[in-house]
Structure 1
Amino acid sequence: MPHIIVEYQQELAGDSEIDALLMNIHRSISESGLFKADQIKTRAYPFRSFTNAGGNSPYIHIQARIKSGRDAENKKRLGEVVLSGLTALHIPASVITVEIIDMDRDSYGKYLPK
């Protein structure tokens, strides 16, 4: 926990840039102390078709899915940590947004195959 899901316009960046973005997010969250490095899961999904406020400027949307129970201040801090770590990457997106989503703790399941 958390699950970080990055959605981005596929022409915005190549695989190496997206790998760097994911590693940067992972490192920023780990260094924040909010979650341990081995708890953070990051992945990215490119999209081809989109509009952005009626236009075609590429954007990135990041979801941080966490188990319910964190207070508003920790959620806000997580969002800030995710975004602040991306400034050094100089991504040519028109906007980068982050959304913190609570996953219901009681219905969340996990299986660790052996």
Structure 2
Amino acid sequence: MPHLVIEYTANLTAGFDAAQALKAANRSLIESGEFEPDNIKSRVVPLADFRVGDRDEGHAFIHAHLHILPGRSESQRAAIAKRLRDALRLQYRPLPGVSTQITVEVLELRRDTYTKVVV
């Protein structure tokens, strides 16, 4: 905990360095003071097949799902989401003719159904 999944559309490869974005995202989570560094598990998933609205071209997105255990207030979760969004925004170089949406959602895991073992 937490688990971070960053999805991005494949048409962003020229403006989005996924490996650097992952480092920046993890750094933002660590700097929030809400998470122990060794507990953050993150990954980036490129989306070859995607669609935004009814258009085939000219649109793209970066979306982060952050799964955390309950116990933080709504304002804490909102601050984490904004911090993560801003970190991702700094890693994206806008591409001409491409409208890109950067979104983040913070989701709470259920303690009774989440399990972990370190071996």
Same fold (TM over 0.5): yes
* Whole-angstrom distance in 2 between the partners of 1:50 and 1:26: 25
Q: Which residue number in structure 1 is paired with residue 53 of structure 2? A: 53
> What percentage of aligned pairs have identical amino acids?
30
> 5+ residue gaps in structure 1?
none
Q: Tell me which amino acid in the other structure corresponds to 1:98.
A: V
Residue by residue, what CA displacement relative to the aligned partner does 1:30-72 show, whole Å, maximum 9, x if unpaired?
Answer: 1111112222111011111111122231111110001123211
Which segments of structure 1 move beyond 6 Å, counting only runs of 4 or more? none
Q: CA RMSD in A?
A: 1.7
Q: Which residue number in structure 1 is paired with residue 92 of structure 2? A: 90
* Whole-angstrom distance in 2 between the partners of 1:91 and 1:74: 28
- TM-score, normalised with respect to structure 2: 0.84
> 5+ residue gaps in structure 2?
none
Q: Tell me which amino acid in the other structure corresponds to 1:79.
A: A
* Whole-angstrom distance in 1 between the partners of 2:89 and 2:5: 18
**1:44-83 mapped onto 2 (5 Å cutoff):** 44-55=44-55, 56=57, 57-83=59-85
Q: Tell me which amino acid in the other structure corresponds to 2:43.
A: R
* Whole-angstrom distance in 2 between the partners of 1:37 and 1:13: 27
Report how many residues are paired: 112
Q: Which residue number in structure 2 is paired with residue 108 of structure 1? A: 114
* Whole-angstrom distance in 1 between the partners of 2:73 and 2:87: 22
Q: Which residue number in structure 2 is paired with residue 17 of structure 1? A: 17
